[in-house]
Amino acid sequence: MSERIQKRLAQLGLGSRREIEGWITTGRIVVNGELAILGQSVGSEDEIKVDGRSIDLSEEKKPSKHVLIYNKPEGEVCTRKDPQGRATVFDKLPAVHNGRWISVGRLDVNTSGLLIFTTDGELANKLMHPSSQIDREYAVRVLGDVDEPMLKRLTDGVELEDGPARFEEIVAPKPDEDDERANRWFFVCLQEGRNREVRRLWESQEGIKVSRLKRVRYANVFLEKKLRLGQWRYADQEELNGMYELVELEAPVLETEQEEKTERKEKHTRRTATPSTRPQAKQHRQQELQRRRRNTSNRSR
């Protein structure tokens, strides 16, 4: 079956569709000896090379679908390799067989918090695509005098250098929760992932400076306190179900979940044994009890 090349390579876990489209436009992908073009359809009979490396399009080469949650520290960059030698968010991730980790969105070097990685390029593409309208929530510490008219401007929308932008929601601290009015924490939510958008939105307002920024939620996944900076964990089944449902894809079933389902099924099968086997088992137990009683009676004599 033929599919668009960016979709097929994303399914193989080589990258998100957006990444692969970039590879096509820069001439990194060759199909049957010729440079690939956007939207080109390919099948298992086609010869694909990415940066000179042959890619097997066969179905059995599809990687397992995994999702990983990472708590990014400040100072790490969201690229696989950094020319300046800085630490990257990929350095601490576990190895993955037959595929690679794809970052669902990015955080700039001075931003910490929640990053999602997956081997499922289709999931990554849908979670990042603007049409999916996926929530991204941040905790942001703001220096400056923030008033109600300013909050209204930020939710109504302001013009940035790359177009209009707005926060979907701003949750401000109550006055009695924050004594230092010039340095306050806010929670903000938006549905885009443009470069440094949260910082640029706030700093479009006169006298405002962002001093700390941390992502605390992406889609249905929250950053929990027990996941320390620089640590990662695999998404659980509930998180997987929620993510895949949001973008109308079928969620994979974790091996542990599958094992539990199998065990529950086996227990159910044992409990609902056919009536013909239960009397036999009961008769066997009665015969065994009678045998033991006779032995006990004989010994007592």
Q: What residue ranges do the domains of the chain occupy? A: 3-61, 67-246, 270-300
Residue 71, φ and ψ in degrees, nearest 5: -100, 100
Q: What is the mean pLDDT of residues 165-180?
A: 77
**pLDDT band with cut points at 50, 70 and 90 for residue 275:** very low
Residue 108 is a catalytic residue? yes
Please write the tens of the pLDDT for every residue from 205-218: 999 999 999 999 99
Residue 265 to residues 7, 189, 232, 253, 270, Cα–Cα distance (Å): 37, 42, 32, 16, 9
Res 242 pLDDT > 50:
yes
| Active-site option among 91, 108, 156, 162 | 108
CATH superfamily name and code, 67-246: Pseudouridine synthase (3.30.2350.10)
Q: Which residues are paired to 112 by β-bridges?
A: 214
Residue 172 has what pLDDT? 87
Please write the tens of the pLDDT for every residue from 4-35: 888 888 877 777 788 888 899 999 999 999 99
Q: Domain 3-61 adopts which CATH fold?
A: 3.10.290
Please write the tens of the pLDDT for every residue from 50-85: 988 888 776 545 667 899 999 999 999 999 888 999
Res 259 pLDDT > 80:
no
Reduced to 3 states (helix: H, G, I; strand: E, B; else coil), residue 40 is coil
Res 278 pLDDT > 50:
no
Starting at the edge strand found earlier in the chain, the sheet holding 34-35 runs: 34-35, 29-31, 48-50, 53-55
Whole-number average pLDDT of the chain: 83
**Tokens of residue 128, six digits:** 């990042």
Res 144 pLDDT > 80:
yes
